[in-house]
Amino acid sequence: MSCSINFWVGLDVHKDSITAAVFKDRDAEPLHVDRLPYDLRKIRRYVQRLQAEGTVRACYEASGAGYVLQRSLEQWGVECHLAAPSLIPRRPGERRKTDRRDAIKIARDFRDGRLVLIHVPTEQDERIRDLVRCRETLQRESVKSRHYILKFLRRRGFVFRDGENWTVRHFNWIRQILAPGTLADEDHVVLSEYFALLEYKLQRRDQLDRRIEALALTPRYQPVVDRIACFRGFKTQAAMVIATELGDLRRFENPRQLMAYVGLVPSEHSSGDRRRLGAITKTGNARVRHTLIQAAWCYRKRPAVGVPLKRRQQGQDPDVIRHAWKCQHRLYSLFHRLAVKKPAQVAATAVAREMVGFLWAVLRDIDVSQLQEVSAAA
């Protein structure tokens, strides 16, 4: 078999079909463009015909199709990558979009090095990541249920004025309203259903919390989670979001690359000598971005090490703790300096961007592949 020929394959992947555009070496036009059913056996035969003539490299957009195709191609000896869809270059006025055009564009841009490739997690890391995402979904759904309950009660003239909402006292207050005779029959049914649904969601979320907390203590995640949890605003759940979504941070050469990956760098509009920075790009990993911005609100408060944070820092690397303390001072100052002249949300976003640099500094030396090997051997 001769491997002197390089085939560059762009794949436009759909649920039932795949369009494959094949370029030979540096040819300007594709050798052929084929439409295949999404059947791994037929895809393998298609790839084997190309491998009989040369080396095959493939790429497709990251999407709901997941990593099954990528992992299968890698098993068959094909170097396969996934491209970040929001960062695929588009020419001005490019409006015509077909599966054939998309496949050709992916293949050509992949060959020419114009695509931003994403990190592909291991199957086990993907499973844990989806578990953490499931927990985040339940948390969001719980918030929705709480809003439904509060709005319904307000429409019926019930407003809790004895402290914060969703404390033990508040839950007991809602249960008192559900006592017989307080509401009309129809209203009682509505509130009962809302409240039962909320309790169910919270119960399922708490079960996932316990499972995730146990996973955070395993050899695969504990070194990463322990370092992240040394920072204010990062309890176990938030630390696991960062750990499972980002994976190995050694692939980012500097904090700026990581900031861009999570969409926290400002957009830019420049013309001639004028340079104007706009809102953040919001490209990349939205879950990490949301978690960072939520943590950033903790830096409104003066630097301090409370009991929960002190407990999390106990026994940890002194250098990491020093970074976390420096982070508190710097981000507290940044938040209040910006909040004087900008909206608080803008200040929190800027704090989240700075926080990325501190996290990168304490995580960049962790070899995740070694952690995976230790975890597999345990």
DSSP class per residue in 218-237: STTTHHHHHHHTTSTT--HH
Rounded to an integer, what distance in angstroms lies between the CA atom of residue 129 and that of residue 269?
35
Structure tokens at 52: 């009989």
Give the range among 60-64, 189-193, 328-332 with minimum mean pLDDT: 60-64
The mean pLDDT of 303-327, rounded to a whole number, is 96
Tell me what the pLDDT averaged over the chain comes to.
Answer: 92
* pLDDT at residue number 277: 57
Beta strands in the chain (DSSP E): 5-13, 17-24, 32-37, 54-61, 79-83, 266-271, 274-280
Helix (H, G, I), strand (E, B) or coil at 357: helix
pLDDT of 269 > 70? The answer is: no
β-strands 54-61, 5-13 pairing: parallel
pLDDT tens per residue across span 243-260:
999 999 999 999 999 998
**How much is the average pLDDT of 323-351?**
95
pLDDT over 50 (residue 283): yes
For the stretch 121-154, pLDDT in tens is: 999 999 999 999 999 999 999 999 999 999 999 9
For residue 297, the model assigns a pLDDT of 97
Confidence of residue 377 (pLDDT cuts 50, 70, 90): confident
Q: How many CA atoms lie less than 13 Å away from 331 in the CB half-sphere?
A: 32
Distance CA 45, CA 319 (A): 54
Domain boundaries, the chain: 5-111, 123-215, 222-377
**Least confident stretch, 271-280, 294-303, 310-319, 347-356:** 271-280
Task: Note the pLDDT of residue 104.
Answer: 96
Predicted confidence (pLDDT) per residue in 219-245, tens digit: 999 999 999 999 999 999 999 999 999
- pLDDT number for residue 1: 44
| CATH 3.40.1350.10 correct for 5-111 | no
- More confidently predicted of 186 and 119: 186
Residue 159 has pLDDT above 50, yes or no: yes
Q: What does DSSP assign to residue 34?
A: E
The CA distance from 91 to 103, in Å, is 16
pLDDT at 86: 77
Length of the chain: 378
- What token pair was written down for 23? 């370029």
Query: Over the stretch 60-114, which tens digit does the pLDDT of each residue have?
Result: 999 888 899 999 999 999 999 999 887 787 776 666 789 999 999 999 999 999 9
Cα–Cα distance for residue pair 11/110, rounded to 1 Å: 11
DSSP secondary structure letter of residue 117 = B
Residue 122 DSSP one-character state: P
Q: Tell me the C-alpha to C-alpha distance, in Å, between residue 189 and each of 150, 328, 343.
A: 15, 48, 42
User: To 5 degrees, how large is the angle CA 117–CA 120–CA 125?
Assistant: 155
This prediction's pTM: 0.88
Nearest one of 64, 63, 59, 61 to 78, comparing CA atoms = 59
Instruction: Evaluate if residue 3 carries a pLDDT over 60.
Output: no
